[in-house]
């Protein structure tokens, strides 16, 4: 069984994340969207909200599941029996950052990282941009899946 972990903070999930996950579905038998918890980081959305946004977005995808975790992604992979980490690349800076992590993960385990290039129409979207648009009252709805709706920030 080809199981992949798609890790991130998803604060919130964006249409860029959505694109990578949807395109990953035919490549893997199962994709586990793993919301990492970092006690040092301040999030705009609670862990429960982020999980709910993702679960609602993929409620009709039987091969997608959502978990939360702390610690190393490779430890989660081992725990869940995943042999792959799925990651999206938007630009050269993402590549350099992700390459270093992938090499480290490969050095520490047998886990392979699979990279998908984001679609041109979503390559500019990041969670930090979405949060900035939200804080400033802009129309964030064109940047995120329908499940990500907030009444006030």
- Active-site hit among 17, 50, 51, 87: 17
- Active-site hit among 3, 22, 41, 99: 41
- Active-site hit among 87, 90, 99, 135: 90
- Active-site hit among 50, 51, 87, 127: 127
Phi-psi region of 81 (alpha: psi -120 to 50; beta: other; left: phi over 0): left
- Clarify whether 90 is annotated catalytic: yes
- Clarify whether 46 is annotated catalytic: no
- Clarify whether 17 is annotated catalytic: yes
In sequence order, the 6+-apart residues with CB closer than 8 A to the CB of 112 are: 83, 84, 85, 106
Largest CA distance in the chain: 45
- Clarify whether 52 is annotated catalytic: no
What is the Cα–Cα distance from 112 to 74, expressed in whole angstroms? 10
| Catalytically annotated residues | 17, 41, 90, 127
């Amino acid at each position: 069984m080809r199981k992949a972990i798609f890790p991130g903070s998803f604060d919130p999930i964006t249409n860029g994340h959505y694109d990578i996950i949807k395109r990953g579905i035919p490549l893997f038998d199962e994709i586990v969207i793993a919301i990492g918890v970092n006690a040092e980081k301040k999030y705009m959305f609670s862990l429960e909200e982020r999980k709910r946004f993702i679960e609602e977005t993929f409620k009709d995808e039987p091969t997608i599941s959502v978990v939360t975790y702390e610690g190393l992604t490779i430890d989660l992979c081992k725990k869940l029996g995943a042999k792959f980490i799925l990651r999206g690349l938007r630009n050269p800076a993402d590549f350099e950052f992700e390459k270093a992590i992938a090499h480290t993960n490969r050095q520490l385990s047998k886990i392979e990282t699979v990279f998908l290039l984001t679609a041109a129409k979503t390559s500019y979207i990041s969670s930090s941009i979405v949060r900035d648009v939200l804080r400033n009252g802009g129309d964030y709805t064109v940047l995120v899946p329908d499940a990500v709706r907030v009444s006030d920030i």
